[in-house]
Amino acid sequence: MNTIGFRPTEPRELTRAVDRISFLYLERCVVNRDSNAITATDERGTVHIPGASVGALLLGPGTTITHQAITLMSDSGSTVVWVGERGVRYYAHGTSLARTSRLLEAQAAAVSNPKSRLRVARDMYAMRFPDEDVSSLTMQKLRGREGARVRRVYREHAERTGVEWSRRHYDPEDWEAGDPVNQALSAANSALYGVVHAVIVALACSPGLGFIHTGHHRSFVYDIADLYKAELTIPIAFDVAAEEEGEIGGVTRRLVRDALHDGKLLDRCARDIRRLLLPDEPDDVADDGGDVDFDDVSLWDEYVLSVRGGVSYGDAS
């Protein structure tokens, strides 16, 4: 196949974000290019996928991708993310899905202002406390309420499964030092962090600009992951600890993998991020992923915020 000489795609030819497949996961196959489609080939045959129809391509274990396939994905305004099995664990990423910095700028603006940062933090806690009004609580009170909630969740699952529970304890340098339930919690949370990290970079947001967590290059990852622990990773960890069959880390990761996949966490996570950073955006836009302004480069202006790029301003005084 001769792929030399493909012209770059014009922005008007690209598929709108709302019409794309949000995320496509591939594993154990060879990914290549055939004209304006990527191909996935394994022992069962070859599948063609239009490059511009994919928002984010997640490459799992056993995948090999060609240079031309990467070129097509980048040219199509898609991102490629290297992940663990079925989307668990984030390793690296290529070009972001977004050709606009809208979400990133909204994230940076919100985190840089104490009032808007508190608003986002409260919204995050509101997602965890849907039956409570947290709109006037301080961060100190929010942290206290979250701490009490997490302790209650641990206690409830300990009673449900019969697993003895004292406290959350783990040593990143000594995996064996933890008891079975703490080992399972560490494995489950690590898998969740990988998936959330992949979504964040696919949306062109910064993993390091957190609202509740701060000072770490994955602060925003921890913020978003905390939205789902009580319903996903904590119950799975206690179930694994109760059974104590097989290698705890591997069993836990496989169960989390299946739960994240079956619960469509990738799409849900993307919607939640958009709603947190763009609270005034209509829900139907957030659900669809919003439109992407391809290759719209502007110049910053202190009076009108932005002016057109690609214009000679040499005569301006």
Please give the Cα distance from 138 to 263 (Å, whole number): 32
Please give the Cα distance from 33 to 162 (Å, whole number): 53
3-class secondary-structure state, position 281? coil
Q: Are 128 and 227 in contact (CB under 8 A)?
A: yes
The pLDDT value given to residue 310: 63
Q: Is 226 annotated as a binding residue?
A: yes
Contacts of 160 (CB under 8 A, 6+ apart): 238
Strands 21-26 and 54-59, by their bridges, are parallel
- Domains of the chain, start order: 11-83 (3.100.10.20), 102-277 (1.20.120.920)
Q: Which of these, 130, 131, 36, lies nearest to 78 by C-alpha position?
A: 36
Q: Is 213 annotated as a binding residue?
A: yes
Q: Are 271 and 199 in contact (CB under 8 A)?
A: no
Which residue in this structure is represented by tokens 């005569």?
315
3-class secondary-structure state, position 301? strand
The pLDDT value given to residue 281: 80
The pLDDT value given to residue 29: 97
CA 245 centroid distance within chain: 31
Q: Is 231 annotated as a binding residue?
A: no
The pLDDT value given to residue 9: 46
Q: Are 195 and 265 in contact (CB under 8 A)?
A: yes
Please give the Cα distance from 218 to 209 (Å, whole number): 8
The pLDDT value given to residue 2: 44
* pLDDT, block means (10 residues), the chain with 317 residues: 46 44 83 93 94 83 95 83 82 76 94 96 93 91 92 96 90 74 92 89 91 95 96 96 86 90 84 93 55 60 72 63
The pLDDT value given to residue 289: 44
pTM: 0.78
- Residue 125 backbone dihedrals phi, psi, to 5 degrees: -65, -35
